[in-house]
Chains A and B, each alone.
Chain A
């Protein structure tokens, strides 16, 4: 026990003597979380609040294109700029000056009205509503194409959401045209409302609740756990570099001549670096609670969840430390440990669902995701932050994180024994 305490104290001294390293260790994760949350929150705002400037070419100049234009203008998403030619739209969008260009085809209103009128007349004829039973001659209209130009740099998800929005808008216009055609056929009084054109099926999102209080997810509630975990796992870098340094400066070799177990040596590092992870976590929570509202970001809500959050952070920290100890044991040089550690954390984060939700990954990656400790940690954090679960529901993920720590430490000890056995 005395040797473990002495090892811990030595690690503490080594860490606190490196002011630059210490600052990086605590400030960089904070900077990371602030930046990512600001970026993601602004993206959210872009879609919800800030208007995206778009280009529109109206070759139709009819009531449908006017309706599209009005809908686009009324939309919170877009700021419409009219253009006269498709060529200029193509040029401006494909060079990245605008993210989106919409080209409405010629005769869209005329052809849509004609098509709808034909269909309505056809239906009414079947029901015997038509006064004059003149056989209908179907016009051979081709489907009209509204052309969308996207800046090639825009993300796939952005394109999909825009396409989906425009599709909804066009469908609504088409439906309204159909209703209007029926109205015209069935009554001569334009003020008479035969159809209620308001949507009948509505959506309501039901969010989890904590007693009477609803837990409404926002960018902060999503980002703090995800990027905190990412930062906690980045601890493997300073930890492994610290171990490699000890090998290179000869102190580890000296230590091997002492009657002390390698596990004790690792124990001292575990205690100190777990402390670092928890301080990092506490700082992240503090900025989420106090700094974020001050810079216009949603406040982090931790009410009633602090013990569980620190419980999860402790085990996530242990898993990260275990990985760092293993890397530090195996690596011979900083050139090995630093790039490998950094890349590996990014891979674990990607697998863990920090960037792309696991459910949106291909099947094979979803299977791989199950073996990422960051996935276990992230799920546990989301369980606490967003799903409002209790300690029992957290146990599977906590057990996996702890098992990961045990396995990495055992591998480190066995590897060291085999490598240095006498």
Chain B
């Protein structure tokens, strides 16, 4: 489904590559976790895959479409759940979804029904016509997710979709992502919640300093790492305990 070949990104004025000669293949129907410390290159990689950043070199294709030749077709097949709440605070949940759905070409009753269906599933029916500025963090996260899946993307990119949300909201989000995956959506997901990733992902890759240091099914990686009991221990063993603060 996703084929990444020798992909690199070096920001202007940066000394090092944020992503360097990265090769990755993600199968259709996978829930792929991209794990790594701060500044490892996770967001940069997702930004390149979702057409927000221009790669310095290398290439990738999604669902057989090369990003250079089929930009708009490719955008129609992917959905991106950004890290921040990318919503209009002064618009209601419904109006936000109506606008972003329209930008995917959805309209009329089809769009209306999809919005109502999704807000029902994610427990927001009562709040459909309330402004986003009045929503809690968890509610905004759920609307943020719906805005990215109204058009039923084949591939969904999630950049830390559960950061800063309450346990209940997190549970609803993860359950719904699982349902989407069951229905055929391939998921590429980044998170700092390693326990969540361990349970949710079919495969994970640990990325550090712009390159993949290991990848495989969570259980396989745990088994391969001597003395590791969980994914967090694998993660620390692979990336070290030094702080990764960067500005």
Using a CB–CB cutoff of 8 Å, the interface residues on chain A facing chain B are 2-3, 6-7, 9-10, 13-14, 17-18, 249-251, 253-260, 420-422
B interface, size bucket = 35 or more
Contacts of A9 in B (CB 8 A): 99
Contacts of B51 in A (CB 8 A): 256-257, 422
Binary CB contact string for chain B from 91 to 131 against chain A (1 if under 8 A, 0 otherwise): 10001001110111101000000000000000000000001
Question: Smallest distance from the beta carbon of A263 to chain B beta carbons, Å?
Answer: 13
**Additional pairs, 18, CB under 8 Å, beyond known A3-B102, A17-B90, A256-B51:** A6-B98, A6-B99, A9-B99, A10-B88, A10-B91, A14-B88, A249-B88, A249-B89, A250-B82, A250-B85, A253-B52, A254-B100, A254-B148, A257-B78, A257-B80, A259-B76, A259-B104, A422-B53
Check if A254 sits within 8 Å of B82, measured CB to CB.
Answer: yes
Contacts of A421 in B (CB 8 A): 54
Contacts of B135 in A (CB 8 A): none
Measured between alpha carbons, how far is A254 from B100 in the docked complex, in Å? 9
Contacts of B102 in A (CB 8 A): 2-3, 6
| Residue from the list B50, B78, B80, B88 in contact with A251, Cβ < 8 A | B88
Contacts of A2 in B (CB 8 A): 102, 105, 107
Contacts of A3 in B (CB 8 A): 102-103, 105
| Residue from the list B48, B71, B91, B147 in contact with A254, Cβ < 8 A | B147
Contacts of A6 in B (CB 8 A): 98-99, 102-103, 107
Chain A residue, CB-CB nearest to B75: A259
Contacts of A422 in B (CB 8 A): 48, 51-54, 67, 71
- Given A6-B98, A13-B95, A422-B53, are A259 and B88 also a contact pair (CB < 8 Å)? no
Measured between alpha carbons, how far is A422 from B54 in the docked complex, in Å? 4
Q: Is B214 engaged at the interface, CB distance under 8 Å to the other chain?
A: no
Chain A residue, CB-CB nearest to B108: A2
| Residue from the list B71, B82, B90 in contact with A14, Cβ < 8 A | B90
Contacts of B165 in A (CB 8 A): none
The 7 closest A-B CB pairs, nearest first, are: A6-B102, A250-B86, A254-B86, A17-B90, A258-B103, A259-B75, A259-B72
Check if B87 sits within 8 Å of A251, measured CB to CB.
Answer: yes
Chain B residue, CB-CB nearest to A255: B103
Chain A residue, CB-CB nearest to B84: A250
